[in-house]
Amino acid sequence: MSLEIHQFLCLSDNLCVLLHDAATGATAAIDAPDATPIISALATKGWALSDILLTHHHADHIQGVPGLKAVFPHVRVSGPALEADQIGGLDRELSEGDKVMIGTREAQVLGVPGHTRGHIAYWFAADHLLFAGDTLFAMGCGRAFEAPPAVLYRSLMKLADLPPETQVYCGHEYTLANARFALSVDPENQTLRRRAEAVAALRAGGRLTLPTRIDLERATNPFLRAGEAAIQRSLGLQDAPAAEAFAALREAKNRA
Ligand code: ZN
Ligand code: FE
C-alpha cells in the first residue's frame, strides 16, 4: 500500500501537505504553516495527525505546531537538528542520513543547507516522493539566506541527482513568477515555454502546479541549469563555473 497525499494552499502561498499511510493510519504534515486549515483538512479526511516533519525554522513553516499539538497532544515533531534551538520543542532532531518512518513508509533525511543553514528535505525513495521545503521550487529555488549561494547550489545539485521520476513537493506555490523569470534567462527552451503555458492555465483555473518532477526540473529550472551554455550566454557569463552562474541567477531573481 502506498501513501495518500492531500495538498492545499494556506496563508497566502504556502503549501500544506498531508501524508497518510493507509496501512497503519499514520499521518504526517510536512511543515506547519497554519494549524486551523490543517486541522480541518484532517477532519475532512478522517485522519489523525501522528507526525509533523519540519524542513526549516522559518515562521511560515513552523508556526502551526502549537495549534496542532493542542488538538493532537501525542503528535511527534521532527525537524532539523541544526535548527533545534531556533524551532524549540522538537521530539526528534534529524540530520543527513537519518531515517524517519511514517507508519510503514520510510523517508531518508537529506541535508540541503543554503536557504537556512540546517534545512533538510525528506525523500521517500520507495514512494518516489521528495519534500523539498524552500530549497527547490518549480522552476525556482529558495533564497540563499544563511549560506553562500555555492552552498545552496550544491544542495540543489544533490536533489537534481535523485531519480528522474521522483515527484517533488515544495513549500510554496511560486510557480507562475518563477516561470516568468525562467523564460527571461532561458527564452529558447521549448520545454520551458510549453510548461510556462501549462502552469499559467492551471493557475488561471485555480489549480495548483505542484508536485513537479526531478526530470521536469532538470529540463526547465534555470537554477539547476546554471552550467548550460544558453543560460550562461544570457547572463553574459560564458564558460563560468556553474556555481558562479548560479549566484548571478539568484541575484538577478532577487532583483526581479
Ligand atoms: Zn523559508
Ligand atoms: Fe517559506
- At 81-129, the pLDDT tens digits run 999 999 999 999 999 999 999 999 999 999 999 999 999 999 999 999 9
Cα-to-centroid distance, 117 and ligand 1 (Å): 11
Cα-to-centroid distance, 58 and ligand 2 (Å): 6
DSSP string covering 94-150, please?
E-TT-EEEETTEEEEEEE--SSSTT-EEEEEGGGTEEE-TTSEETTEE----SS-HH
Q: Residue 172 gets which letter from DSSP? A: B
The per-residue pLDDT for 256 is: 85
Q: Residue 31 gets which letter from DSSP? A: S
Cα-to-centroid distance, 150 and ligand 2 (Å): 20
Is the entire prediction scored with pTM above 0.85?
A: yes
The per-residue pLDDT for 1 is: 64
The amino acid that residue 49 corresponds to is L
Give the pLDDT means over successive 10-residue stretches in the chain (256 positions): 92 96 97 98 98 98 98 98 97 98 98 98 98 98 98 98 98 97 97 98 97 98 97 95 97 93
Cα-to-centroid distance, 79 and ligand 2 (Å): 15
Cα-to-centroid distance, 232 and ligand 2 (Å): 28
Cα-to-centroid distance, 68 and ligand 2 (Å): 18
User: The domain 4-255: what is its CATH number?
Assistant: 3.60.15.10
Supply 9's cell numbers: 494552499
State whether the Cα torsion 12-151-157-80 is positive or negative: negative
Cα-to-centroid distance, 59 and ligand 2 (Å): 8
Ligand nearest to the CA of 115: 1
Ligand nearest to the CA of 135: 1
Query: What three-state secondary structure class fits 76?
Result: strand
